[in-house]
Amino acid sequence: MSRRTIFRPAPRRSVIISIIVAAASSTTLRAETAANDTPPSFTTKKLYTAAFEEFRARDGYDWEVLAMGPGHGIRLASGRLVAPVWLATDRSHRPSISATIYSDDQGQTWHAGETIVATTDETPNPSEHELVELADGRVMANIRTESKRHRRVIAFSPDGATNWTKPEFADALYEPICMASTVRLPAASEESKNGSSTAQTTLLFSNPNSGPGAGPTGKQGSRERRNLTVRLSEDTGQTWPTARVIAPDASGYSDMAVAPDGMIYLLYEADRADPTGPFVPGSLTLAKFNRAWLLKGEDVK
């Protein structure tokens, strides 16, 4: 694995990160190999607020706050573009819902998908989430909530917008109440760690795995943002037996992208701008690694 710090914000200045959807691989590759390269150009900006107004008109959800991702969206095999969003009825960001918006005309128009998960006693304040298309065409949503169980919430849709399954907790994925990232590796029969061939959907997941024993307190339910870890699943997210720690100390939001050659790029918040205050990242770091490097990690006990 290689990594480099690519940005250090001014003291006490918050940083939110994401990797651009349509050009995720090429954009991160430029950041790694040619820091002075010409940045990508974009067309004239357009407003798409109408998509969010559909949540009011259709569902009666009178939101006060709307936010994207903040990670990346995805393009489905059908050509549909799907982006994760979350909304809240109060400017305190609570209570909230997680949903998607989607486009079937290459981004010219956007529409509101159905709510994936809403605030309940079991899943309070769902918000930031990421999406991944599975080998069978379903879309998996991996969602942040403030549940006392401190586990990620998972739901599935046949098209990324409708008929979401009942949200379930992923026991293997710790939730420190922080944004996380998930991506799918290129579909192929590849050699797993034990030498067997697998054609299952291979998924990656990254977040601060600050569960029991991971941080200085070592307490169950710890909300510390540290111990950024990448996990690998070779069975469509049913189990996550392999993990490698990327940054054992303070770390926060992260986002991953996979290049055409299979190289994995992980952009993440690192360090602390203020060692004594709430977590504010001191830098953005870009890590570069591949599947083989991950498979040398230790199985999770």
Nearest to 247 by CA among 229, 265, 225, 232: 229
| 229 membership: H or E segment, kind and range | strand 226-233
Assess if residue 47 is contained within a domain: no
High-pLDDT (> 90) share of the chain, %: 65
Half-sphere exposure of 94 (CA within 13 A, CB side): 8
| Residue 70 pLDDT grade (very low, low, confident, very high; cuts 50, 70, 90) | confident
Domains of the chain: total: 1
Assess if residue 40 is contained within a domain: no
**Stretch 275-292: mean pLDDT:** 88
Assess if residue 42 is contained within a domain: no
Question: CB of 181 within 8 A of CB of 173?
Answer: no
Assess if residue 147 is contained within a domain: yes
Q: From CA 94, how far away is CA 124, in angstroms rounded?
A: 9
| Residue 32 pLDDT grade (very low, low, confident, very high; cuts 50, 70, 90) | very low
Amino acid identity of residue 65, one-letter, is V
Question: CB of 88 within 8 A of CB of 95?
Answer: yes
Residue 82's DSSP bridge partners are: 74, 102
Confidence (pLDDT) at 26: 30
Assess if residue 139 is contained within a domain: yes
Specify the pTM: 0.84
**Stretch 269-295: mean pLDDT:** 89
Residue 230's DSSP bridge partners are: 206, 244
Nearest to 103 by CA among 161, 53, 190, 152: 161
Ranking 10-24, 88-102, 160-174, 216-230 by mean pLDDT, the lowest is 10-24
- The pairing of strands 181-184 and 190-191 is unpaired
* Domain range enclosing 217: 2-34+55-299
Phi, psi of 188 (to 5 degrees): -170, 155
**Stretch 121-149: mean pLDDT:** 96
Assess if residue 41 is contained within a domain: no
Tokens 């940054």: give the residue: 247
Q: Indicate which CATH number applies to the domain containing 281.
A: 2.120.10.10
Assess if residue 283 is contained within a domain: yes
Phi, psi of 130 (to 5 degrees): -130, 160
Assess if residue 44 is contained within a domain: no
Nearest to 290 by CA among 254, 255, 266: 266
